[in-house]
Amino acid sequence: NAGVTQTPKFQVLKTGQSMTLQCAQDMNHNSMYWYRQDPGMGLRLIYYSASEGTTDKGEVPNGYNVSRLNKREFSLRLESAAPSQTSVYFCASSRLRDTQYFGPGTRLTVL
């Protein structure tokens, strides 16, 4: 099992450009999550999907959209990137009330 995979691993964007971060899990988990991690801030929840067909906002959703494509895949889209969105983005998945397993992360720089 690959666990949670994310693509791309690194990305550099110019202000105003758009991009989609991809996440897939092969553990048959119902719930999936997107976090961002900034120095000294810990991880902050952007959006989550409790089950296929549902998505909800987390702590810092502004500037992002998500799509739960199917049970395996959960994507994060930046429509118009801003320098404040420079961060490391982690996708995670879990069964209900169980531990979350994290992907390797995407390191995004917005110039």
Partner 1 sequence: QQPVQSPQAVILREGEDAVINCSSSKALYSVHWYRQKHGEAPVFLMILLKGGEQKGHEKISASFNEKKQQSSLYLTASQLSYSGTYFCGTNVGGGADGLTFGKGTHLIIQP
50, 55, 67, 72: which one binds partner 1 (CB under 8 A): 50
> Residues in contact with partner 1, total (CB under 8 A)?
28
11, 30, 65, 86: which one binds partner 1 (CB under 8 A): 30
Q: Is residue 103 part of the contact set for partner 1 (CB under 8 A)? A: yes
- HEC-encoded secondary structure of the chain: CCCEEEECCEEEECCCCCEEEEEEECCCCCEEEEEEEECCCEEEEEEEECCCCCCEECCCCCCEEEEECCCCEEEEEECCCCHHHCEEEEEEEECCCCCCEECCCEEEEEC
Q: Is residue 31 part of the contact set for partner 1 (CB under 8 A)? A: yes
Q: Is residue 105 part of the contact set for partner 1 (CB under 8 A)? A: yes
Q: Is residue 67 part of the contact set for partner 1 (CB under 8 A)? A: no
Question: By the 8 A CB rule, do 32 and 26 touch?
Answer: no
Q: Is residue 100 part of the contact set for partner 1 (CB under 8 A)? A: yes
Q: Quick one: which segment of 16-24, 35-43, 63-71, 75-83 binds partner 1 (CB under 8 A)?
A: 35-43
